[in-house]
């Protein structure tokens, strides 16, 4: 009989990513239902100082691998180390973030541990002691429920911004176990990637996203969206047309071949609403579309639609947001 539900937290740039707290909260709910312990795996360079953050969301014991070799996610170093730590947790269920790195790690771990993975899940239920995970299929056109054979290790990666977080309990402390994992030398040519992400809100974790499409007409006009996003505390996204034109980096792309996002508010500006774009943002809580074409497909998905030339509407809207913010 397995002893735990185990979460694999994601640590980057000196902090756990928010999705780590979401999976900890979900893990807590599952562990309580199944009568199991909740363990966490924390891996990274300098991660030791932050492990008690996980305790606030119900993690009882944290296994820590803190080594400069884990500064960046590299499959060759992370996969064997996390697999080794998972063995020590004796889990019935493993939850991971369905972030860019988390998806890569989950798939490789599932292969190594010879189990099935429900990737990018949006809901988990426990019925009669059996776990089921729901995930969107075919670009979000339908939803599938997955379950595991009796005795199989359940592995689920969870879409960021979907699982609700518990109220953090500052009084909680977790047992911390430092694990001496053997760090294999990475044979891949990429050993570290330096990106200037300072101050940039990660799209998959953003509460509000302002996205621009081909209707923006050129890269310089995204300054308008940056300004609006700055006032709203939002991240800036883009359609593939804007990315393919070289106006925005691929890391900003929302959609089937970009990122899947689930903000509370998604503002689509000059985006037609092609099915491949909707696959990436269709589960946003509220969608606002700004498009001069009243027949644009995005309006069939939008909660609020503005039929107007974006170059007239966005400056006026931005000024109104600024006025409201300054009177707060």
Ligand X SMILES: Cc1cc2nc3c(=O)[nH]c(=O)nc-3n(C[C@H](O)[C@H](O)[C@H](O)COP(=O)(O)OP(=O)(O)OC[C@H]3O[C@@H](n4cnc5c(N)ncnc54)[C@H](O)[C@@H]3O)c2cc1C
User: Least distance in Å: CB of 25 to ligand X?
Assistant: 29
The smaller minimum CB distance to ligand X, of residues 4 and 119, is found at: 119
CA–CA separation, 25 and 164 (whole Å): 7
The smaller minimum CB distance to ligand X, of residues 25 and 272, is found at: 272
The smaller minimum CB distance to ligand X, of residues 5 and 243, is found at: 243
SS3 labels along 77-105 = HHHHHHHHHHHHHCEEEEEEECCHHHHHH
The smaller minimum CB distance to ligand X, of residues 92 and 98, is found at: 98
Q: How many residues appear in the chain?
A: 328
| Residue located via tokens 């780590």 | 20
The smaller minimum CB distance to ligand X, of residues 58 and 282, is found at: 282
**Angle (CA) 88 90 94, round 5°:** 105
The angle that helices 222-232 and 310-326 make with each other, rounded to 10 degrees, is 20
User: Least distance in Å: CB of 184 to ligand X?
Assistant: 34
User: Least distance in Å: CB of 223 to ligand X?
Assistant: 15
Q: b vs e for 166-195, b when ≥16 Cβ sit within 10 Å of the residue's Cβ?
A: eeeeeeeebebeebebebeebeeeeeeeee
In sequence order, which residues have a C-beta less than 8 Å from that of residue 34 and are 6 or more positions away? 5, 92, 93, 126, 129
User: Least distance in Å: CB of 267 to ligand X?
Assistant: 12
CA 207 to chain CA mean position, Å: 12
Task: State the alpha helices, DSSP H only, in 273-309.
Answer: 275-281, 298-301
User: Least distance in Å: CB of 288 to ligand X?
Assistant: 13
- Could you tell me which residues are beta bridge partners of residue 63? 41, 177
Which spans of this chain sit near ligand X (rule: CB under 6 A)? Answer: 213-215, 239-242, 253-258, 270-272, 274, 276-277, 280, 290-293, 296, 309-311
The smaller minimum CB distance to ligand X, of residues 6 and 271, is found at: 271
| Residue located via tokens 């709203």 | 232
User: Least distance in Å: CB of 219 to ligand X?
Assistant: 13
């Amino acid at each position: 009989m397995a002893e735990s539900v185990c979460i694999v937290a994601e640590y980057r740039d000196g902090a756990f990513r928010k999705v780590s707290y979401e999976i900890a909260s979900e893990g807590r709910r599952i562990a309580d239902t199944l009568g199991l312990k909740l363990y966490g795996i924390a891996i990274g360079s300098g991660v030791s100082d932050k492990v008690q953050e996980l305790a606030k969301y119900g993690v009882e014991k944290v296994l820590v691998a803190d080594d400069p070799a884990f500064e960046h996610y590299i499959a060759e170093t992370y996969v064997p180390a996390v697999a080794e730590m998972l063995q020590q947790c004796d889990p019935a269920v493993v939850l991971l973030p369905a972030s860019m790195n988390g998806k890569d790690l989950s798939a490789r771990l599932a292969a190594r541990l010879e189990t099935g993975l429900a990737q990018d899940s949006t809901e988990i239920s426990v019925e009669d002691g059996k776990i089921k995970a729901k995930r969107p299929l075919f670009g979000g056109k339908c939803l599938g429920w997955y379950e595991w054979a009796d005795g199989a290790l359940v592995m689920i990666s969870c879409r960021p911004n979907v699982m609700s977080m518990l109220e953090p309990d500052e009084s909680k402390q977790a047992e911390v176990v430092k694990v001496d994992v053997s760090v294999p030398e990475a044979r891949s040519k990429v050993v570290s990637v330096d990106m200037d992400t300072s101050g940039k809100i990660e799209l998959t974790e953003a509460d509000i996203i302002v996205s621009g499409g081909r209707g923006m007409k050129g890269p310089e006009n995204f300054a308008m969206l940056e300004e609006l996003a700055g006032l709203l505390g939002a991240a800036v996204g883009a359609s593939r047309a804007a990315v393919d034109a070289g106006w925005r980096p691929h890391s900003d792309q929302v959609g089937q071949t970009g990122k899947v996002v689930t903000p509370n508010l998604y503002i689509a500006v000059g985006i037609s609403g092609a099915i491949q774009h909707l696959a990436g943002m269709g589960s946003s809580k509220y969608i606002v579309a700004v498009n001069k074409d009243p027949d644009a497909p995005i309006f069939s998905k939008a909660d609020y639609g503005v039929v107007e030339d974006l170059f007239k509407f966005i400056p006026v809207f931005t000024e109104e947001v600024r006025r409201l913010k300054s009177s707060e």
